Chain A
Amino acid sequence: ETGVTQSPTHLIKTRGQQVTLRCSSQSGHNTVSWYQQALGQGPQFIFQYYREEENGRGNFPPRFSGLQFPNYSSELNVNALELDDSALYLCASSSGLAGIYEQYFGPGTRLTVT
C-alpha cells in the first residue's frame, strides 16, 4: 500500500508568480485535504476535496484554488504569490469525509516566496 506522496519537496518562487503543488492520495482514499503550516505554527485548513468536488474551505483567499482528479490525486494552485505564502503545505487523504475517517498526511512541500 502506497502512502500519501507530494511533489515537489521544495520550491522557491518569486512574489507575484503562480505555483502548483501536487498530492497523490493513499490507495483506496477518495478525500484529500490541504493544510498550510507557517513556521512555528500549527497547520491551517485550506480546503478539502471529496470525490472531485470541493467540500469545505478555510479562511483563505480565492487565489488559493484546487482540483481533484478521477484517480483522487489533487492539486493546490496559488496565484499572485505573496511573501506570507511561504510555508509547509501538507496534504492529507482519507477513505471518506475527513470528519469521520482518519486523515493520513503526506511529507509536505516547502514553499519559499522571495
Chain B
Amino acid sequence: ELKVEQNPLFLSMQEGKNYTIYCNYSTTSDRLYWYRQDPGKSLESLFVLLSNGAVKQEGRLMASLDTKARLSTLHITAAVHDLSATYFCAYYGGATNKLIFGTGTLLAVQP
C-alpha cells in the first residue's frame, strides 16, 4: 500500500525554538516534495528533493531525504509566527503518476 506518515500531526512551538517534522513513506521513490498550506488556501511548493542525501534550505526551513530509510525531514530553525501553517510531504509511489500526500503537520508558532 502506498502510504505516507507524518509526525507529529500537530506541533505547537514557541518563537525562537527549533523542531523537526518527520515524513516516512512506504515504497521506493527518488523524489520527495514538501508543501505549505495556509488555512483555506492552495498548496505552495517548498522543496523538491530528487536524490538520496539531498538537502535543501530556504530561510528557516531545511529539508533532507534518505531514500534508503524512506525518510524525509523538515527542520525548522528559530521559528517565527509567519511559519504557522500546515506542512505536507508527498511522493510518487512506485511507477505511478499520482502524488501521495501525508496527513499533514499543523504548525502553530506562539509568540
Contacts and interface: CB of A to CB of B under 8 A. Distances in A.
A112 B67 CA distance: 39
A110 B40 contact: yes
Given A43-B101, A102-B48, A107 B96 contact: no
Size category, A interface = 20 to 34
Interface in A70-93: 88, 90, 92
- The secondary structure that dominates the B interface is strand
Interface of B: 4, 33, 35, 40-43, 45, 48, 88, 90, 92, 95-104
Interface of A: 33, 35, 40-45, 48, 55-56, 58, 88, 90, 92, 97-99, 102-108, 110
Given A33-B97, A42-B90, A102-B45, 6 more contacts: A35-B99, A40-B104, A43-B43, A43-B101, A55-B97, A98-B98
